[in-house]
Amino acid sequence: MPPIAVSHREGNTQRVFALNEHAEALGLKRGMGIADARAMHPAIEVIEANQKADARLLDGLADWCDRYTPLVAIDGDDGLFLDITGCAHLFGGEEAMLHDVLRRVAGLDFDVCGGIASTPGAAWAAARYGQSFVAPGEEAAALSPMPLAALRLAPDVRAGLESVGLRVAGAVLAAPRAPLARRFGKALITRIDQALGDIEEAVSPRMPVAALSAERHFAEPLSRLEDIERIVPVLATSLKADLERRGEGARRLQLALFRVDGAVSRIGVGTSRPMRDPEQIARLFHEKLEAMGEGIDAGFGFDLVRLGVLSLVRFEERQADLVGDRPDKGESVAFFADRVRARLGEQAVLRPVMVESHIPERAVEYAPFAFAEADQSAAVPAGQTERPVRLFARPEPVNVTAEVPEGPPAHFRWRRASFQVARAEGPERIAPEWWQAGEGARTRDYYRVEDVEGRRYWLYREGFYGVAEEPPRWFVQGIFA
């Protein structure tokens, strides 16, 4: 393989962004100008960096690392932080876990190195400067022989330290802090304290961490969706005991499928009511998997399947009668809606939600079905008169003839048809909402009318006669049963 340098632009200069082993063996360094690199070795091959593709690749690798811990954070352009607290014993201890991570990542054709320490700063230095393990309390001793870059200092700070003869991390750790802070700033002291564990440095996970999860590893990877569907109730049964112990139920669940080549598929479902039943959970994921169909690429198979609970709420127990039956109270409707949403999407099932507005077309909005979030009654609020069964989203104009200018309609024409009014009731006056009414908004007088054939309509007159230059207009707002 020829020496290869990856370049990117910094200001007006093309600089070396990355090198392969052959290029490094020639003495080339990251950050040097491409012109200088070509002058030293004219045969070098230069490739333009694609940083967006690199970021996607690193994000995919971080996704794959979720098999070890849910606390995975991206570090710069080429690193990952894994918080393995409480996870190492699942893989045979820290040494076995590190060996497994490095072996698997190297098997994906990456040049990888890693380190384990009790602080992120010490682990960062150990991974990059050839020390696999740093025991708790041994951070200072491990960092001492390393270069200043092991402390994650800015280039200008490193240059300033080297100019006064402090060329390794141990020299900085042994120097008095007050002069260092005065000359090089508090950021240097912060980095030292983070590496030594005197200041806590949190690892912010790139994805939400599941409150509860259950997983199953497979020596023989799964490649059929039927096999995945069979493992879902097993995992849900494992979660049920913890949910019962906490007195909670799941509202959002996620099924993560880890492929042997590193790709990860994540499938989420939501529930309208808190759920524990493994059979119901399995049916929701069945609908989701059926809807995705060919969208899930099993590749060479999935060697890890994990079911996680992303959202929990209190689970209200209901008393059954002596024969084990209890009133349904909407459970079947909620579960039906959940299955439809899992197959067709969140917008497939909507429910009306009352809004604080007395303008009829604004008084109700439609939101994705969530049975337990708001049990709002469909009854008319106190003090409000009867409303039509079918209410138009936008009122439709009609031509009206009234016996007196501001009286009820005697005849109206709508959708090219004429209607003779036999009975009318009203008016019900609804004024504009002053806090959001725009210029020109006018008061409405509503009438409930019935034509000679018994059909009932809800009409209103917008405006008053003789008050403004524009005459009042009539509209039909809805139809009664």
pLDDT > 90? residue 170: yes
> What's the distance, Cα to Cα, between the start and end of the chain in Å?
80
Alpha-carbon span 275 to 255, nearest angstrom: 15
Each residue's pLDDT tens digit, 1-42 = 788 999 988 888 899 988 888 888 888 988 899 999 999 988
Q: What is the DSSP letter of 149?
A: G
**Structural domain boundaries in the chain:** 4-49, 53-196, 212-339, 390-479
Can you tell me the mean pLDDT for 436-444?
76
Task: Tell me what pLDDT residue 439 has.
Answer: 64
Each residue's pLDDT tens digit, 214-225 = 999 998 999 888
pLDDT > 90? residue 413: yes
Amino acid at 80: L
Q: Place 230 in a pLDDT band, splitting at 50, 70 and 90.
A: very high
pLDDT > 90? residue 412: yes
Share of the chain above pLDDT 70, in %: 93
* Phi, psi dihedrals of residue 319, rounded to the nearest 5°: -75, 130
Question: 4-49, what's its fold?
Answer: MutS, DNA mismatch repair protein, domain I (3.40.1170)
Can you tell me the mean pLDDT for 60-74?
91
For residue 201, the number of C-alpha atoms closer than 13 Å in the C-beta half-sphere is: 21
For residue 281, the number of C-alpha atoms closer than 13 Å in the C-beta half-sphere is: 28
List CB contacts of 403: < 8 A, sequence separation 6 or more: 410
For residue 443, the number of C-alpha atoms closer than 13 Å in the C-beta half-sphere is: 11
Task: Tell me what pLDDT residue 370 has.
Answer: 67
CATH, domain range 212-339? 3.30.1490.100
Q: Which of 122-131, 157-166, 263-272, 286-295 has the lowest mean pLDDT?
A: 286-295
Q: How far is CA 121 from CA 46, 80, 118, 142, 147, in A?
A: 33, 12, 9, 12, 14
**Secondary structure (3-state) at 292:** helix
Q: Which of 12-21, 232-241, 245-254, 358-367 has the lowest mean pLDDT?
A: 358-367
Q: Which of 49-63, 301-315, 326-340 has the lowest mean pLDDT?
A: 326-340
Task: Tell me what pLDDT residue 277 has.
Answer: 92
Q: Which residue, 349, 161, 380, 363, is CA-closest to 272?
A: 349
Amino acid at 66: D
Q: Place 421 in a pLDDT band, splitting at 50, 70 and 90.
A: very high
Each residue's pLDDT tens digit, 71-112 = 999 998 889 999 998 889 889 999 999 999 999 999 888 889
| Under 8 Å between Cβ of 46 and 34 | yes
Predicted TM-score of the model (pTM): 0.71
pLDDT > 80? residue 378: no
Q: Of how many residues is the chain composed?
A: 481
| Under 8 Å between Cβ of 477 and 458 | yes
The DSSP result for 313-378, as a single string, is EE-------TTS----TTHHHHHHHHHHHHHH-GGGSEEEEE-S--SGGGSEEEEE--TTT-----
Give the pair of three-digit tokens for residue 37.
């690199």
Give the pair of three-digit tokens for residue 140.
């200072």
Q: Place 278 in a pLDDT band, splitting at 50, 70 and 90.
A: very high
Can you tell me the mean pLDDT for 33-56?
90
Alpha-carbon span 464 to 472, nearest angstrom: 6
Alpha helices in 167-277 (DSSP H): 169-174, 177-184, 186-196, 225-246
Task: Tell me what pLDDT residue 291 has.
Answer: 87
Long-range contacts, stretch 98-106, CB < 8 angstroms, 24+ apart: 98/132, 98/133, 101/65, 101/68, 105/61
pLDDT > 60? residue 433: yes
Q: Which residue, 425, 423, 416, 421, is CA-closest to 398?
A: 416
Task: Tell me what pLDDT residue 432 has.
Answer: 87
Can you tell me the mean pLDDT for 208-212?
89
Q: Place 321 in a pLDDT band, splitting at 50, 70 and 90.
A: low
Each residue's pLDDT tens digit, 465-480 = 877 778 899 999 999 9
| Under 8 Å between Cβ of 22 and 3 | yes
